[in-house]
Amino acid sequence: MDDTKHLDLIPSIALDTSIVGERHIFDAWRESVRGIYDVNPNDDERGVHERVRSYLVASLIFTEVTLSSQSFSRQSSHVKNAGDYLWLKVYKGGESRGISDDRSFVIMPGEVHIFDYTREFRSIITDSSVAGAVIPHEAVGYDPSRHPSYFMFPSASPIGCMLKQALYTVLDLAPNLQKEDASAVSDGFCSLLQSALCLSPLGNPETPNTFEARVHAMKAYLDKHLSDPDLGPERLSKEFGMSLPTVYRHFSETGGVNHYIVNRRLDRAYSQLASPSSRKRKIHEIANAAGYDDPAYFSRSFSKYFGIPPSSVQKLNQSREANGSDGRKFANTSIEDWLYNRKPQSHSIFSR
């Protein structure tokens, strides 16, 4: 093998059982992402399926991971210390359900999901295989104060197909990609992503649509008063000086006012159940705070919406303190180093 060419390859990170063994693989994975997420296994036995391949392509990070069933929690402490990034994810297998920026999401195979990682994030995943890319805000002109915190493109949509193909192409190239070619690959991917997300230049704010502005204002009002038992379209009609038919028209794309309220109350309950500050709270207290007087009805609604009962979410939250790692340090370079330091070593790997 030509050692000169090897040294000219882009930096990469590898983690799997051949490096740390089955006994320590989950702790090694947990250690590698400790500054990005808190992760915990969903089952009593820690996973042994974790496999990570990551590549630093200029300022972008591309990843391929295989993960066992587990929970992720990105809290304010993670957000505070993080750089400003978007995280693009495509599940090749498995699925994920959770909350980002106080709103629920479901990820199914083939869909393209993009999250702003300056927001808090919590999710529960099944055994999964995931391809992804981490993109600095400035690389695509993203502004958290002006642009959505979450994007989703269906599996068969034209934009979704283009983004997936671009992601898979970069991951195919990455193991043998030379440093001198990294900027061109990164620029091409960012150009496609910026166009797909319709992000306008930072210095050229888009003129807000009046209809959309009213919808946003009404949703903000509902979000602020979710615990009020009499919250509904009549309240919006009174507060915003609109007829009921006009209020209904503004929520036609979200399934109606009551549908929006129910979903947002469940989203809020999930956030509280998964919050470290709520580990000792009773489920019925959280249900009441979300506007539910009947705990049993709340539990049924929650389970139907998220596919997991509220007691399981709280149990995972409570287990975070108990399921810490054994204190071993496995990584001499991690994705966290790339995100925060931007000064990685070439081809650093996880070692025993």
Report CA-CA distances (Å) from 324 to 18, 42, 301, 318. 23, 14, 32, 12
Q: Are residues 151 and 215 in the same domain?
A: no
Q: Are residues 13 and 160 in the same domain?
A: yes
The 3-state DSSP class for residue 54 equals strand
Pairing of strands 103-107, 51-57: unpaired
Q: Are residues 261 and 132 in the same domain?
A: no
Residue 201: per-residue pLDDT:
46
Q: Does residue 351 sit within a domain? A: no
What are residue 131's DSSP bridge partners? 64, 90
Q: Are residues 56 and 176 in the same domain?
A: yes
- Region of 241 please: left (phi>0), alpha (psi -120 to 50) or beta: left
Q: Are residues 277 and 129 in the same domain?
A: no
Contact criterion met (CB below 8 Å) for 316 and 310: no
Q: Are residues 282 and 164 in the same domain?
A: no
Lowest mean pLDDT among 181-185, 252-256, 271-275, 315-319: 315-319
Contact criterion met (CB below 8 Å) for 128 and 66: yes
Q: How far is CA 258 from the centre of its chain?
A: 26
Residue 229 pLDDT exceeds 90 = no
Q: Does residue 348 sit within a domain? A: no
- Region of 58 please: left (phi>0), alpha (psi -120 to 50) or beta: left
Locate all alpha helices (DSSP H) within 136-282, ordered by sequence. 137-140, 158-173, 179-197, 210-224, 233-240, 244-250, 257-274
Q: Are residues 247 and 163 in the same domain?
A: no
Number of domains in the chain: 2
Per the listing, tokens 């002109």 go with: 141
**pLDDT by residue (tens digit) across 259-300?**
999 888 888 888 778 776 667 788 888 888 888 888 899 999
Q: Are residues 102 and 230 in the same domain?
A: no
pTM of this structure = 0.70
Contact criterion met (CB below 8 Å) for 110 and 91: yes
Q: Does residue 168 sit within a domain? A: yes
User: What is the CATH number for 201?
Assistant: 2.60.120.10
How many angstroms separate the CA atoms of 137 and 215, rounded? 27
Q: Does residue 318 sit within a domain? A: no
User: What is the CATH number for 304?
Assistant: 1.10.10.60
Lowest mean pLDDT among 156-165, 241-250, 266-275: 266-275
The mean pLDDT of 10-36, rounded to a whole number, is 87
Extended strands (E) in the chain: 12-15, 38-41, 51-57, 60-67, 70-74, 85-93, 96-100, 103-107, 112-116, 121-125, 128-136, 150-153
Q: Are residues 135 and 242 in the same domain?
A: no
Q: Are residues 130 and 251 in the same domain?
A: no
Residue 124 pLDDT exceeds 70 = yes
Full domain range(s) for residue 273: 210-308
The span from the first CA to the last CA of the chain, in angstroms, equals 25
Lowest mean pLDDT among 113-117, 155-159, 222-226, 329-333: 329-333
User: pLDDT: is 280 or 179 the higher one?
Assistant: 179
Residue 348 pLDDT exceeds 60 = no
Report CA-CA distances (Å) from 184 to 102, 173, 199. 36, 13, 20
Residue 94 pLDDT exceeds 90 = yes
Q: Are residues 148 and 276 in the same domain?
A: no
The mean pLDDT of 57-76, rounded to a whole number, is 92
